[in-house]
Amino acid sequence: MTGKVVAGSYLVAENVERYRAIMRYCYRCHKAMNGLLYRQDIFDGVRNELGDTYTDSQLDQDLNQLVEWENLTRRQEMIRPKSIQEYKEKHYRYQISEKGILFEELLDKLNHLDEYTRGDLDKDTFVLLLENLEVLASSSAGMDQAKCWLRTIELFGKLQKNSSDYIGYINSATIDGKMKTESFLVYKDQFIMYLRDFIVKIQELYYKFTAAIDKLGQESISRSGNSVIEKSAGTKIDEIIRSVVAYEQSRSFLEAIDEETLRERCYDLYKGMYRWFNKDGKRDSEYDTLMNQTEQIISRITSLVYYYGQESRQYQSRRRDYLHIAQWFASADTVEVCGAMYGAIFGMTKVRHYYSPEEGSILMPTTRSWDATPAELFTGNLNRRNREERRVKTVAVNRQLQKEQRQEYLAKVQYREQVIERYFSDNCLLLKDGMKIEPMVRTTLLRWISRSIATGQDTVRTEFGYQLRVVVDTSQWITLVSEDGRLTMPQVCFYR
């Protein structure tokens, strides 16, 4: 108790201005529900305050020193490197530690944090958060709207902190060591079901979350390529911020409320909530990171269970099993019955498989398998002397035919592009209910949607040379009318 407090060394160190700037920025991001920061985020955040003379090497030196003093915690993000450069950089993420938070709270005269917990993946918190977001989107300006916003932020803060703490807890060295013991097999089923139940429930609510958050600021945060455009004026979030400012002013009696700071804080909270569920350029959202981490944990547990299961079976005696099977053979009446049982238990020892390349009626999708006629396979003499002589055949290249086929293909692509172009209005193609569309256009649009879903990105590059942003609204369902039938699907909008 009388020794030196190492965590407070950054307040009296030689480079106190640089340390204080980094700690203030990390603490401000922590209060905005954006605790885990990349190195580049910290560098961009403190560059304006420290000036252009602040270099990358100085940032690395300061971050390492703050980690050594336990003011910051460093966590390596578990990703699969796509290149040697990514493997060398290791993708560290920094978060202000509990000691650092307490020092910054003391300096800024703020309330202390709640008692540290290891967190959990509680699906009920997601459900409550979604209910509050839906109520908030349909509420009108006033005190009730401000109180609903405060409850929403409280739930989101609990969700973000619990999920982050839980992922950090189960990825720690202590839990990793426990998972590698055979005693873990006792409760592995319950743990896996807990994680899978959480994943299924959150995946069901994901699109409802994004739709509810978009209603709060439909024009507040929009994308243009990989950049983010922010505009809060005239949106629902701007109305909510005004209600929160009025509510805080009605509760303040002894000191004035900094309205501009409060507005900025509320909007930062909304941005943090938006980016928790939506991707930011090429960077995955915190929701995607949470899902990937949870799936990796399930994969690790499954691998360990399989390993211990193989180890246990390797040294397990099969004496009782073979004695039980021997009783079956002893009770058989004939040798044929024994042969059938042997084939069913151990498999047939001598089996000849034939493959018929001829297309029979069984390949037709409208034909039932038991009504199909068998295909015929004619085998020749397998004697080497009677085999047909194989001769090398030359391949004739018809340049003129290739050129004609290429021109025909390009003409079809150009025609398809011209037809699709007629559906665009102001660089936007919105699929509406009862809309008549050609089968060719429908196939192309479905291919773009499938490519967007498969890659996990909302931007796809078309075969016509331009990029499209694909927005799927699962809350509204439409029916497209074509010559060959009708297609019911969620409403989709393509932005060019």
> What is the model's pLDDT at position 281?
66
Q: Nearest 5°: phi and psi at 470?
A: -100, 120
Give yes or no for residue 374 having a pLDDT over 60.
Answer: yes
pLDDT digits (tens, 9 = 90+) for 23-42: 888 888 888 877 778 888 88
Q: How many residues does the chain have?
A: 496
> What is the model's pLDDT at position 113?
37
- Residue of higher predicted confidence among 180 and 464: 464
Closest CA to 103 of 2, 5, 33: 5
pLDDT digits (tens, 9 = 90+) for 168-205: 766 666 666 666 665 666 666 777 777 777 778 778 88
- Those residues whose C-beta lies under 8 Å from the C-beta of residue 121, and which sit 6 or more positions away, are 162, 163, 166, 194, 195, 198, 294
Distance, in Å, from the CA atom of 166 to the CA atom of 172, rounded to the nearest integer, reads 10
119 confidence band (pLDDT: 50, 70, 90): low
> What is the model's pLDDT at position 116?
43
Least confident of 113-117, 293-297, 353-357: 113-117
State the average pLDDT over residues 64-75.
Answer: 86
Distance, in Å, from the CA atom of 405 to the CA atom of 263, rounded to the nearest integer, reads 62
> What is the model's pLDDT at position 109?
56
Per-domain residue ranges of the chain: 1-113, 115-314, 407-495
Distance, in Å, from the CA atom of 159 to the CA atom of 125, rounded to the nearest integer, reads 7
Fold type of domain 1-113: Arc Repressor Mutant, subunit A (1.10.10)
Give yes or no for residue 388 having a pLDDT over 70.
Answer: no
The SS3 assignment for 230 reads strand
- Those residues whose C-beta lies under 8 Å from the C-beta of residue 372, and which sit 6 or more positions away, are 360, 361, 362, 364
> What is the model's pLDDT at position 222?
46
CA distances from 109 to 6, 34, 105, 224, 329 (A): 21, 21, 6, 40, 84
Closest CA to 429 of 417, 411, 445, 410: 445
Give yes or no for residue 496 having a pLDDT over 70.
Answer: yes
Distance, in Å, from the CA atom of 481 to the CA atom of 487, rounded to the nearest integer, reads 7
268 confidence band (pLDDT: 50, 70, 90): confident
The answer to whether the predicted template modeling score (pTM) of the entire model surpasses 0.75 is no
Give yes or no for residue 309 having a pLDDT over 80.
Answer: no
pLDDT digits (tens, 9 = 90+) for 430-445: 888 888 888 888 888 8
